[in-house]
Structure 1
Amino acid sequence: MAVRMVVFQIIVLLGSMNAFVKAVGLVNSTKCGEATCGNVTIPYPFGIDTDCNMTDLYWINCSHSFSPPKPFLASIKHEVLDISLDGTLRVNYPILSGCSDAARTQFDSYTSRRLVFSRSRNKFVAMGCNNFASLNDAENIVLCACSSSMDTATYNISPSCKYAFIVEQKWFETNLTNPFEVRNMSHVPVVLEWGIDPTLFPLVTGNNQPDEETSAYVCANRSSNATRSSNATRSSTLTCSCKPGFKGNPYLLHPERCTAISTSLGLLFLLIGGWWSYKAIKKRQNIKRKEKFFKRNGGLLLQQQLSSSKANVEKTKLFNSKDLEKATDHFNVNRILGQGGQGTVYKGMLVDGKIVAVKKSKVIGEEKQLEEFINEVVILSQINHRHVVKLLGCCLETEVPLLVYEFIPNGTLSHYLHVQNEEFPATWDMRLRIATEVAGALFYLHSAASSPIYHRDIKSTNILLDDKYRAKVADFGTSRSIAVDQTHLTTVVQGTFGYLDPEYFQSSQFTEKSDVYSFGVVLVELLTGEKAISSTRTPESKSLATYFIYSMEENNLFDIIDAQVMKDSKKEEIIAVANLAKMCLNLNGKKRPTMKEVAMQLEAVQTLQKASNVQQNHEEVECVRSEMHEQWDLMFYVMRVYAISLPLDILLKNIFMTNL
């Protein structure tokens, strides 16, 4: 018995504590704010939890009998469609048919719950034949329309009236297109206005009267639209709202109550402004950086020379870095065509769809080299030779200058010689033609160009092959132009080991004969199919040039010639080209031939080869003719023997059978 008494006292104590908590307004400041039931948001002072509503009149029953769940306002048992903190509540309200005392009782009971029909957002509708419906209040009677005052209104519907109902005006005008649809409807949306009992005002203020000037919210009497006064009647209601510049729920206690919009918006604007300022500063820095690189790389001088040049350089273009970055996919490693001592070459596609090769230098040019670089660009832009890769333009607004060349699809001569190509084998005819084309291009650079140009890095990897396997001399990264009366350049030794002129290596003086030496190594590559430097040969023969000279002196030339060359060519042609290569590789530069002499001798070998092929073809034709004469002699002999006794068709059949 004592235990039961203790349990009963605890229950009573807990109930008293719950009432106390609600009375002092602590509920909404601890855990209550906003809940959801199905698709409807339930803001405080309404609440699903009995401990999370300002009064039991605003308790929402979330019914899980539906999917999704539906909220019902427990005090009037209507489904809630929407709750707004502006003091409105949308509910599903039943359509009334005929005269009903229940309707009057139901409507009258709303006022006691601080709920009234919205005068501005609802419409009173009556439907049917020979009917009369009115909505009565203390002031007047309105036919088939909403009364201007409905706080104490009662329904008065004649028995002949089929349907009469209050409905949300906006919903009625947009959704009820056919009046007969009402017969299949039991409820329609209605907007109710709600407010809190003035006696509950301390739950909003926390027992502190709000300051009109400093508080972030304001509460007003709905009936008079005035700020709450001390003489407010029991039937009046209060509605609260956040002041302009604030947002939130004015019915919650601080700090969950209204917060300044200006702070969050100001922070947002500050962040946006900071971001745009950062972008603008970065853009200006990027522009200044490009202008700095452009001037440092001699862009102004290049523009001046290109504009004043009388040569045909209008096709040379100054590209911007953005276009070339886009063309090469930001210099993606997957776009690399080749790498060398002077830079990396990338495959790119311009906006017009043209495929190009973009060379990006590895080394930043010194200031004293700028004039030479600009001179090189201008001279190369004037070169128009079918066996020299065409320079399309350059970009000077990057840290290192970028050169843009025409794209050559079939790779390098080195790859063609040292990697098997069954579809297009490196025959002797193709090798001799490539050698002649390269020699002609070097002769043009040395002698026929407006200013002599020394390539300074001739090697099989710098000779490209186009779609018809024609040679294109490329990579002028170390090239230099000289005055017509100059005989050499004194520079820091640059080049590729295995192709480097020993005389240049010792004296640092580069002459046109240095290019001749490098071309001699390429000739030996074409003859032997071996690389300029190979670790598979003996240490003494690691260099192909040394290995070749030694083999010729020992009369072992044909032991090192490529099998494909031995198969396709005549020994006289091999010996002629080998002797020419030997002259090019002479350690004394003065005893080497010029590129003009080299080109002429290769053309002579090629001419003799063509003549030999013509003679061979002539001999084959003569052989065919001899065989045909023999066949005709045989035919005439048979005809003479059998002509008397055999018909013509049998005679011809016997002739062909005899040949078989």
Structure 2
Amino acid sequence: MGRLGKTARIFTENEIKEATENYDGSKKVGEGRYGIVYRGILEVGVTKDWHAIKMSKVKVQIDQKEITSPVDDQKQNTARTGDLKQITQQRFIKEMIALSQISHKNIVRFVGCCLDTAKPILVYEFMRKGNFYEHIYEKEGKEPLALARRLKIAADTAEALAFLHHDTGKQIIHCDVKTANILLDENWTAKLSGFGASRLGPEDENQISTLVHETVGYEDHEDLDSKSNTLTEKRDVYSFGVVLAELLTGLQPETNLAKVFVGLVEGGTLDKSLDEKIVEGHFNIVREAADLAKICLKPKEEERPSMKDVAKELNELVREMEQHPSGGGEADIPPSPKDTGNLGGSSASSASVGDTITSAE
């Protein structure tokens, strides 16, 4: 199967229909802009288990040659604005290519695909605890996560991004880092998903397209306004900085969170926007994590750290919390004002439950 690799499975339409009970509504677990995600039991190898089955929302033709060509020959074509069919086709192809050629404990595992349907289907491992976004904002009864767990999830995600940026041979820039694309397994291990907008290998002159980071609140505005076609891994670093700001404050990203957060840190008022149940007396660690987020959000790319450095610092914070789970006598946090929702707004994030693999995108 060439680029799909030896471990990817090609499923028949009948297998997919049987697993989803003919796409029954009770099997639907998410819906995004480009796809609908179902859960179903599929046989892979000698075992049967739950899998996430993502179906395209539109009918597109994917030629097998498009997903078996070498990365160096894969053109990063610019999708025409408003051409949903072309955009969807490119996203599905990019996701298959990216996930079929990499393996990492913190990247969602691509299991296979079904291409003999009018709407192409991708199959992934099923992430039983949903996505990070749901737990930060306590969506659909998800339990709120303590600071230690949030930082461990962030460290896992940073490890995945560092791997993509530095250890894959052909650098991969994710281009859609957000809490809804961070999935959680039954052991709370974080796995990065949502590779439909990623950049594979050397970029060409058409690398900046309508596919690049369409989620409001996570984009680097200075980079978006730039006339340059240069795209670097520091775009992902900026988006990850927004993720860190989210997990510390619980504020929604589309409220210009990056600017608000940096202002809180620089003004020394971050403590007034923190929830006591998240901080748990670990304000020194919160300050270190906040300073790290602020550096990731630097306007100039060259001033941002690498994801390897970010992962290293986060892992150190996680170890510190493991050694001092009670807070180690750190200063008490003043009561939260309970009105931080004014910054976050009441509207749901554009990163909805449908963006999970749960990641329908």
2:147 pairs with 1:428: yes
> Counterpart in 2 of 1:380?
99
Aligned with 1:590 (options 295, 302, 311):
302
TM value normalised by structure 1: 0.42
Q: Secondary structure at the match of 1:558?
A: helix
Bigger Rg, structure 1 or 2: 1
1:212-253 deviations in Å (ceiling 9; x for gaps) = xxxxxxxxxxxxxxxxxxxxxxxxxxxxxxxxxxxxxxxxxx
CA distance 1:489–1:564, change in 2 (3 Å)? farther
Cα gap change, 1:487/1:464 in structure 2, threshold over 3 Å: closer, same or farther?
A: farther
Query: Which residue of structure 2 aligns with residue 333 of structure 1?
Result: 25
- 1:360 maps to 55
Q: Identity over aligned residues, as a percent?
A: 35
User: Aligned pairs, how many?
Assistant: 299
Match of 1:499 among 203, 215, 218: 218
Over the aligned positions, Cα root-mean-square deviation in angstroms equals 3.0
Contact 1:457 1:496 in 2 (8 A): yes
SS at match of 1:441: helix
The answer to whether the 8 A contact 2:98-2:195 is kept is no
Confirm or deny: 8 A CA contact 1:488 1:511 kept in the other structure. no
Indicate conservation of the 8 Å contact 2:52/2:123, yes or no.
Answer: yes
1:367: Cα distance to partner?
Answer: 7.8
Offset at residue 509 of structure 1 (A) = 4.5
Deviation at 1:553, TM superposition (A): 2.7
2:183 corresponds to 1:464: yes
The one-letter amino acid of 1:548's match is F
Match of 1:560 among 273, 297, 302: 273
Pair 336,422 (structure 1): closer, same or farther in 2 beyond 3 Å: closer
Residues 498-535 of structure 1, C-alpha deviation per residue, up to 9 Å, x if partnerless? 112213422365321111111111111110122213xx
TM normalised by structure 2 equals 0.74
User: Residues 555, 471 of structure 1: CA spacing in aligned structure 2 closer, same or farther, 3 A cutoff?
Assistant: same
Secondary structure in 2 matching 1:457: coil
| Counterparts of residues 563-582 of structure 1 (less than 5 Å) | 563-569=276-282, 571-582=283-294
The letter of the residue matching 2:273 is I
CA contact (8 A) 2:129 2:188 kept: yes
Give the alignment partner of residue 41 of structure 2, picking from 349, 354, 369: 349
In the other structure, the counterpart of 1:411 is 130
2:256 counterpart residue number: 543
Q: 1:376, 1:481 within 8 Å by CA — same for their partners in 2? A: no
Report how far residue 434 of structure 1 moved.
0.8
C-alpha separation in 1, matches of 2:55 and 2:245: 31
Query: Which structure dedicates a bigger proportion of its chain to strand?
Result: 1
Deviations 1:161-196, CA, capped at 9 Å, x for gaps? xxxxxxxxxxxxxxxxxxxxxxxxxxxxxxxxxxxx
**CA drift at 1:332:** 2.4
- Residues 287-346 of structure 1, C-alpha deviation per residue, up to 9 Å, x if partnerless? xxxxxxxxxxxxxxxx3445xxxxxx3211111222112211222232222222332211
Q: Indicate the structure whose relative CO is greater, using CA pairs within 8 Å and at least 6 residues apart.
A: 2
Query: Shift of residue 465 of structure 1?
Result: 1.1
Q: Distance in 2 between matches of 1:487 and 1:597?
A: 30
Unaligned runs of 5+ in 2: 68-73, 75-89, 330-361
Equivalence for 1:40: none
Give a deviation string over 1:138-177, Cα, whole Å, max 9, x none.
Answer: xxxxxxxxxxxxxxxxxxxxxxxxxxxxxxxxxxxxxxxx
The answer on whether the counterparts of 1:456 and 1:515 sit within 8 Å (CA) in structure 2 is: yes
Structure 1: runs of 5 or more not aligned:
1-302, 307-312, 534-541, 618-660
Q: Report the CA distance shift for 1:396/1:520 in structure 2 as closer, same or farther (over 3 A).
A: same
Rounded to whole Å, the distance in 2 between the matches of 1:461 and 1:358 is 17
Kept in 1: contact 2:220–2:239 (CA 8 A): yes
Cα offset, 1:424, TM superposition:
5.4
SS of residue in 1 equivalent to 2:244: helix
Distance, in Å, in 2 between the alignment partners of 1:510 and 1:345 is: 30
